[in-house]
Amino acid sequence: MNIPAPSIRPDFAGAVAKVAHANRHIAAFAQEAGLYFGKQPYQAIQTPHPDTGEPGYHLYERLGLPDRRLALFIGDALHNLRSALDHLVCACAIANGESPDRTQFPILLKETGLEQKLLKDLGKAGPVAIDLVRAIAPTPLGSPMLAALHELDITDKHRLILPVACTMNVEIQVGGFEGVPVVAAKGDTAPPERTSCFVPAPAGYEGCIAHDFSFTGDVVFPAGTPLAGQPCVETLYELSAVVADIIIAFEQGYGTFRLSYDISRQGRTTWTI
């Protein structure tokens, strides 16, 4: 059922500002992570596999990650995104002539109890807000990224979310001496909780010394947290886009002036490591 929007439109500028600020934290995180990889933090050494004795090369981390500053960027981004949703529904309560006290954007970590939570947290925000949030279905199955955002924000309140480096697409140049052609030994992505990965030597190159290597790296969420193993920058921007989409839905539902373009998927600039 379509419920007419109230005559006084909510002011969603605060919610938009929160997402914009989160995006600045994510961009700063990407810049710091890029500086880390720019220092060439990995080094290749020729050594047999410790378990099988297979000849090859180990790529290991020599600088050490995480830098705790990275965890602060993550926490600040998560908190601003979660806070943006609360600002959104509090603006609806104010436009509804109510105090925003005890009004919050409900996100459940289980599948039951949504209707009771909607009435409890959004009663002052009014029926339009309730219908909009109900359509979003903020539960682990209905909106898994929202549930992850909520749980990560709770986690950050108690301990730092320390990201880990993940090595991917390793390519080690071997050969080139005594007439042996140069070939590339390629390796798989290292498990996120490890700081090294093993690259087998190509057949016939078991005794060749590595003389150059390249890799692409990423920083991922640690084990034991929601979205574990997922790349931090890309995933944080996806969380930001999810929140921006919700703000857009509220702007459309209430017929308010569009403030969200710069934080939308179309309007924001993508940052990568």
Domain residue ranges in the chain: 13-263
Handedness of CA 29, 32, 35, 37 (dihedral sign): negative
Q: What pLDDT, on a 0 to 100 scale, did the predictor assign at position 6?
A: 55
Cβ neighbours of residue 266 closer than 8 Å, sequence gap 6 or more: none
Strands (DSSP E) contained in the chain are 42-46, 56-61, 164-174, 183-187, 196-200, 210-220
pLDDT bin (cut points 50, 70, 90) of residue 31 is: very high
271 pLDDT more than 60: no
Q: What is the percent of the chain with per-residue pLDDT over 70, rounded to a whole number?
A: 92
Q: What pLDDT, on a 0 to 100 scale, did the predictor assign at position 193?
A: 65
1 pLDDT more than 50: no
Q: What is the percent of the chain with per-residue pLDDT over 90, rounded to a whole number?
A: 60
Residue 167 in 3-state DSSP?
A: strand
Cβ neighbours of residue 210 closer than 8 Å, sequence gap 6 or more: 44, 45, 46, 57, 172, 173, 174, 185
Q: What pLDDT, on a 0 to 100 scale, did the predictor assign at position 62?
A: 82
CA triple 236-241-243, angle to 5 deg:
95
pLDDT bin (cut points 50, 70, 90) of residue 254 is: very high
Q: What pLDDT, on a 0 to 100 scale, did the predictor assign at position 159?
A: 93
On average, the pLDDT of the chain sits at 89
Mean pLDDT, residues 210-214: 82
For residue 260, which phi and psi values (nearest 5 degrees)?
-95, 5
pLDDT bin (cut points 50, 70, 90) of residue 242 is: very high
In what side-by-side order are the strands of the sheet with 196-200?
Answer: 42-46, 56-61, 196-200
Q: What pLDDT, on a 0 to 100 scale, did the predictor assign at position 220?
A: 92
Q: What pLDDT, on a 0 to 100 scale, did the predictor assign at position 191?
A: 64
Q: Quick: pLDDT tens for 84-143.
A: 999 999 999 999 999 999 999 999 999 999 999 999 999 999 999 999 999 999 999 999
Contact criterion met (CB below 8 Å) for 106 and 90? no
Q: Quick: pLDDT tens for 153-211.
A: 999 999 999 998 887 778 888 887 767 788 888 876 666 666 678 889 888 888 888 87
Q: How far apart are CA 100 and CA 94, in angstroms?
A: 6
Tokens of 129: 């807000």
Q: What pLDDT, on a 0 to 100 scale, did the predictor assign at position 248?
A: 97
In this structure, which amino acid lies at residue 224? G
Q: What share of the chain is helix, strand, coil (3-state, %, to 5)?
A: 40, 15, 40
Under DSSP, the state recorded for 44 is E
Tokens of 261: 């373009």
Mean pLDDT, residues 52-79: 89
Q: What pLDDT, on a 0 to 100 scale, did the predictor assign at position 38?
A: 86
